[in-house]
Amino acid sequence: MFLKELEDYPWFPSYLRKIQLEYVGWISVQLRLYHPLLKLLQQFPSNKWIDLASGSGWPAFYLQKNASHQIHYTLTDLYPESVSNEVSKHVNVEAEPFNLLDFQLEAGKQYSMFNAFHHFTTAKQKEIIKKIIEAKSSCMIAEVLEPSWLCFLQVTLAAFIVQPFTAWAIRPFSIVRMITTYIIPIQMITVAWDGWLSVLKSKSLSQYKALVSDLADNQYSIEVKRIKQLRGNLIVILAQPKPS
């Protein structure tokens, strides 16, 4: 059995999904978890990116806003209404639900995914990367979680300590967020549960390397690396066609 995070189930209330994803995306930006990716963007030829499983869209917006060169993101998600209203003011959002597993990726495009890859089974993860390779496209996949006690502790602190101290600061301001954080704290419980489950489903650096080990060839480059930082490590998968 493959357990899914609550936010991935269609029956999960859309308003809870939205404020949960907003918090997770917003706090990652405040901690500048994706800052090292700004340098990696320069390795790709195009300034246009399609973000997959975007959630709130905060990580993509952070990169678009802070990149040394002008880049443009288009956000996609199975639940596009989950994109933060603050983000949608500045980033293009695909309005129709985007099911990554059923969609044929476009040739020559650049795709990104931020802290969403662990939501898929190992077989589906490999299928996604194969789709990108077959389309002769490029991708940058970043994960902030690993299967470790440290990540488990970080998720717990983020859900039960950091969240109640910062919920009021997230924009746009939400009465629903205030109620579900301070009065009926279901938001803290759902963030913790999905975070714990995500840690259990995450992979280590060696596991991701094993996942893609047989996919690279003389025409396609795949690199998997860990970027160490005090505020939280990143595991990054970079894949793109080799120059001809």
**Can you say whether residue 226 is alpha, beta or left, with left for phi > 0 and alpha for psi between -120 and 50 degrees?**
beta
Residue 233's pLDDT band (cuts 50, 70, 90): very high
pLDDT of the residue at 47:
96
Q: Establish if 30 belongs to a structural domain.
A: yes
Total tally of structural domains belonging to the chain = 1
Tell me how many helices (H) and strands (E) the chain has. Answer: 10, 7
Classified as helix, coil or strand, 48 is strand
| Percentage of residues in the chain having pLDDT higher than 90 | 92
- pLDDT of 28 higher than 60: yes
Q: Establish if 163 belongs to a structural domain.
A: no
- Taking the whole predicted model, whether its pTM rises above 0.85 is answered as yes
- pLDDT of 1 higher than 50: no
Q: Give the span between the Cα atoms of 122 and 178, in whole angstroms.
A: 37
b/e map of 142-168 (b: 16 or more CB within 10 Å)? Answer: bbbbbeeeebbebbeebbeebbeeebe
Q: Establish if 106 belongs to a structural domain.
A: yes
237 forms beta bridges with 141, 224
Q: Establish if 141 belongs to a structural domain.
A: yes
| Percentage of residues in the chain having pLDDT higher than 70 | 99
Q: For 171-216, write each residue's pLDDT tens digit.
A: 999 999 999 999 999 999 999 999 999 999 999 999 999 999 999 8
CATH assignment at residue 17: 3.40.50.150
Q: For 38-49, write each residue's pLDDT tens digit.
A: 999 999 999 999
Structural domain containing residue 23: 13-145+204-241
Q: Establish if 158 belongs to a structural domain.
A: no
